[in-house]
Amino acid sequence: MSFESLIKTVNLSGTCSLSKVEEVVTGLVLAKEDEDDVAVIEKLDELVKLVVSSSSIIGDDDSFHNLAVDFARNKFEQWALEVVKKGLDFFPLSTDLLADYIRYAIDSNDYAGCSEYYDRLLAIPKSQWSWRAFDFSIDYHLFLVKKEQGKGAGSENIATIRSLANDFQRYLPHDERGFFAEAVICREFPQSAEKSREEELSVLTNALMKVGVAPRCALRCAEIYKEQAKYPEAIQALKRCITDSSAQHFSLNLGYVYLLLVLCKFSLFLKEKADYDSSTIETLVLDMYNDCNIGKVLLTAEQQYRDKIRETIRILEISTGIEYSDA
């Protein structure tokens, strides 16, 4: 549907369909010639006003959330806030929309808005919270820690973050995000500086045992194991990450995952090469070349990562005499 057709339809029917608005927003964003395309921005502004002024809406709280995400993704956080606020007029107990408001208010440095909508969220039992409610509430308190740094409020907010992470795991035990949030806390605010990695890794490995699908926790485990030169453990975690990624619904940079897999296999190969016969060496090198091919396909924009893969391939070719093929 075109912008003009949508405006005409809403004016005639008096009803605004959020899915149609989202469709038009997507088309306008794709048509933008540059970041400051005035004509497109004016139309987007008119669409927000159309939604905000409508008393009859077709759509649920997810529809408001999806439309707000479209605006926020294109750095229109203020419009995202207006859409979410309108959604809360219709669905005042939607924990997703309350969480969305907190997230976009953080991005807009709207401290008062964060506080007001966080208080509204707290009035709802945590047993009814969505993952966004927990995740964005933790983001809010992390934001407060940084904002109040040096003013004495840090320890109180850190304690709240830990409590939220525990509640996250309690009420949504099959969601890795609660464990990942706790791992971030261990890294950012360790109870013991000497044991911060140990504490973080303990939380992450616990997640891998308890949660069926946990690609983010697996990836972070692999990064820590790689730092510790524990390459077999890192490789195992990366394979878990790749497997779990097929079942996850949020974005993960699989190209980066394959790069880490290549580097860990390469480091282990160099460490143990003297113990391998020629047949084993060929098998291992061809396996790494296959991972390199996948990584290069997935890493379309990250030139630095692609260069690292090429460097690894070249070293393998020279040191083993096994020619690389990207076919």
pLDDT confidence of residue 2: 84
Query: Mean pLDDT: which of 13-27, 124-138, 149-163 is highest?
Result: 124-138
Residue type (1 letter), 52: V
Mean pLDDT of the chain: 90
pLDDT digits (tens, 9 = 90+) for 63-113: 999 999 999 988 899 999 999 999 999 999 999 999 999 999 998 888 888
- CB of 258 closer than 8 Å to CB of 298: yes
Whether 153 shows a pLDDT value over 60: the answer reads no
Whether 154 shows a pLDDT value over 90: the answer reads no
pLDDT confidence of residue 36: 65
pLDDT confidence of residue 289: 96
Question: For residues 112 and 224, which has the higher predicted lDDT (pLDDT)?
Answer: 224
- CB of 213 closer than 8 Å to CB of 239: no
Whether 228 shows a pLDDT value over 90: the answer reads yes
Distance separating alpha carbons of residues 234 and 145, to the nearest angstrom: 32
pLDDT confidence of residue 239: 96
Q: Where are the domains of the chain?
A: 1-87, 232-243+255-327
Backbone angles phi, psi at 287, to 5 degrees: -65, -40
pLDDT confidence of residue 173: 95
Mean of the pLDDT values across residues 29-34?
73
What is the CB neighbour count within 10 angstroms for residue 227? 10
Query: Mean pLDDT: which of 36-50, 142-156, 262-276 is highest?
Result: 262-276
Please report, for residues 17, 66, 263, 307, the alpha-carbon distance to residue 257 in angstroms, rounded to integers and kept in the order given: 40, 28, 10, 15
Whether 58 shows a pLDDT value over 80: the answer reads yes
pLDDT digits (tens, 9 = 90+) for 174-200: 999 999 999 998 988 887 777 788 999
Question: For residues 213 and 155, which has the higher predicted lDDT (pLDDT)?
Answer: 213
Distance separating alpha carbons of residues 76 and 28, to the nearest angstrom: 13
pLDDT confidence of residue 37: 73
pLDDT digits (tens, 9 = 90+) for 242-293: 999 987 666 789 999 999 999 999 999 999 998 999 999 999 999 999 999 9
pLDDT confidence of residue 35: 62
Whether 165 shows a pLDDT value over 90: the answer reads yes
Residue 75: which residues within 8 A CB-CB, separation 6 or more? none
pLDDT confidence of residue 146: 80
H helices present in the chain, as ranges: 3-13, 18-31, 38-53, 61-73, 77-90, 95-107, 111-122, 131-147, 154-171, 176-188, 196-210, 215-227, 231-245, 254-272, 278-298, 303-320
Distance separating alpha carbons of residues 245 and 234, to the nearest angstrom: 16
Distance separating alpha carbons of residues 121 and 133, to the nearest angstrom: 8
Residues of the chain with pLDDT > 90: what percent? 69
Mean of the pLDDT values across residues 222-229?
96
pLDDT confidence of residue 212: 92
Confidence of residue 204 (pLDDT cuts 50, 70, 90): very high
